[in-house]
Amino acid sequence: MSTRSATVEAPVQPREPRHVPAAPSAAVRVEGVSQIFERGRPPVLEGMDLTVAAGEFVCLVGASGCGKSTLLHLIAGLTQPTSGRISVSAERPALMFQEPALLPWLTASGNVELALRARGLGRAERRAEAERLLRVVNLEGHGGKRVHELSGGMRQRVALARALAQDSSVLLMDEPFAALDAITRDVLHEELTRVWAEQGLSVVFVTHNVREAARLGQRVVLLGSRPGRVVREWQADIPQPRTIESPGVGALATDITRELHREISRHGQ
Amino acid sequence: MASEDSRGGRPGLTVVDREDVQNRAVEAGLDALDASPNLPDAPGPGRVFLRSVLPPLVFLALLVGVWELAYLAELKPSYVLPSPGDVAQKFWETVQDGKAAEAVWTSLTRGAVGFAMSLVIGTLLGLAMWWSRWLRAAIGPIVSGLQSLPSVAWVPAAIIWFQLSNAAIYTVVLLGAVPSIANGLLGGMKQVPPLFDRVGRVLGLSALGRIRLVLLPAALPGYLGGLRQGWAFAWRSLMAAELITYSPKLGQGLGQLLNIGRELSQMSLVITAITLILVVGVAIELLVFAPLERRVLNRRGLTMR
Say whether A114 and B203 touch across the interface (CB within 8 A).
yes
Residue B59: inside a domain: no
> Where on the phi/psi map is residue A33: left (φ > 0), alpha (ψ -120 to 50), or beta?
beta
Mean pLDDT, residues B25-48: 74
User: Does B60 map to a domain?
Assistant: no
Q: What is the DSSP letter of A178?
A: T
Query: Is B106 inside any structural domain?
Result: yes
| pLDDT at residue B6 in the model | 42
pLDDT in tens, A137-153: 888 889 999 998 888 88
Q: Answer whether A54 touches B (CB < 8 Å).
A: no
Nearest to A78 among B3, B201, B300 (CB): B201
In a domain, B58, yes or no: no
Out of A92, A146, A149, the one facing B204 most closely (by C-beta) is A92
Q: What is the pLDDT of residues A62-117, one digit of tens each?
A: 887 778 888 999 999 888 888 888 988 887 899 999 889 999 999 999 999 999 99
- In a domain, residue B30? The reply is no
Q: Which of B7, B14, B26, B31 to mutate to test the interface with A (most CBs of A within 10 A)?
A: B31
How many structural domains compose chain B? 1
DSSP B35: S
Decide the pairing of beta strands A170-174 and A94-96. Answer: parallel
Of A67-76, A93-102, A235-244, B210-219, the poorest mean pLDDT is in A235-244
Chain A residue with minimum CA distance to B24: A138
The set of residues, in sequence order, having a beta carbon less than 8 Å from that of B19 and lying 6+ positions away, is: A190, A241
Q: Taking the alpha carbons of A215, A220, A222, A227 in that order, is the dihedral positive or negative?
A: negative
Predicted confidence at residue B219, as pLDDT, reads 94
pTM of the model: 0.77
CA distance linking residue A55 with residue A236, whole number of Å: 15
Q: Which domain holds residue B205?
A: 76-299
Burial class (CB in 10 A: 0-12, 13-18, 19+), B18: exposed
Q: Which of A143, A151, A152 is nearest to A111 (CA)?
A: A143
Determine, yes or no, domain membership for B219: yes
pLDDT tens-digit series, residues A179-201: 888 888 888 898 899 889 888 89
Q: Residues A16, A254: contact at Cβ < 8 Å?
A: no
Residue B96 lies in a domain: yes
A166 contacts B36? CB cut-off 8 A: no
| CATH label of the domain that carries residue B138 | 1.10.3720.10
Would you say residue B99 lies in a domain?
Answer: yes
Mark yes or no for CB contact A115/B220 under 8 Å. no
For residues B240 and B256, is the Cβ–Cβ distance under 8 A? no
Q: Are strands A170-174 and A202-207 parallel, antiparallel or unpaired?
A: parallel
Span of A109-118, A235-244, B62-71, B175-184 with lowest mean pLDDT: A235-244
